[in-house]
Amino acid sequence: MSTSIPERSTTLSAEVQHADEQQLPRHIAIIMDGNGRWAQHRDLPRIEGHRNGVSSVRRTVEECARLDVQQLTLFCLSSENWKRPSHELDFLMHLLEQYMIEERALLMEQGIRVQVIGRREGIPDRVLQEINKTIEMTSNNPGTTLCLAINYGGRGEISDALKKIARRVEQGTLTADEIDEQLISESLYTSGMPDPDLLIRTSGEMRISNFLLWQISYSELWVTEKFWPEFMEEDLHLAMQAFANRNRRFGGLTS
Could you give the CA distance from residue 75 to residue 188 in angstroms, rounded to a whole number? 16
Note the pLDDT of residue 126: 97
**Catalytic: 33?**
yes
List residues bridging with 177 in a β-sheet: none
**Catalytic, out of 20, 35, 43, 81:** 81
The reported pLDDT for the residue numbered 80 is 92
Tens place of pLDDT per residue across the chain (255 aa)? 333 333 444 445 555 555 566 689 999 999 999 999 999 999 999 999 999 999 999 999 999 999 999 999 999 999 999 989 999 999 999 999 999 999 999 999 999 999 999 999 999 999 999 999 999 999 999 999 999 999 999 999 999 999 999 999 999 999 999 999 999 999 999 999 999 999 999 999 999 999 999 999 999 999 999 999 999 999 999 999 999 999 877 666 665
**Given this model, what pLDDT does residue 162 score?**
98
**Can you give the pLDDT at residue 108?**
98
Q: What is the pLDDT, as a whole number, of residue 67?
A: 96
141 is catalytic: no
- The residues spanned by each domain of the chain are 24-153+195-244
Marked catalytic residue, from 20, 33, 90, 160: 33
Tell me which CATH homologous superfamily contains domain 24-153+195-244.
Decaprenyl diphosphate synthase-like (3.40.1180.10)
Crossing angle between the packed helical segments 233-244 and 46-66, to the nearest 10 degrees: 60
The pTM is what? 0.90
> Which positions ≥6 away from 202 have C-beta within 8 Å?
30, 31, 32, 33, 34, 223, 224, 226, 227, 228, 230, 231
- Bin 32: left if φ > 0, else alpha if -120 < ψ < 50, else beta: beta
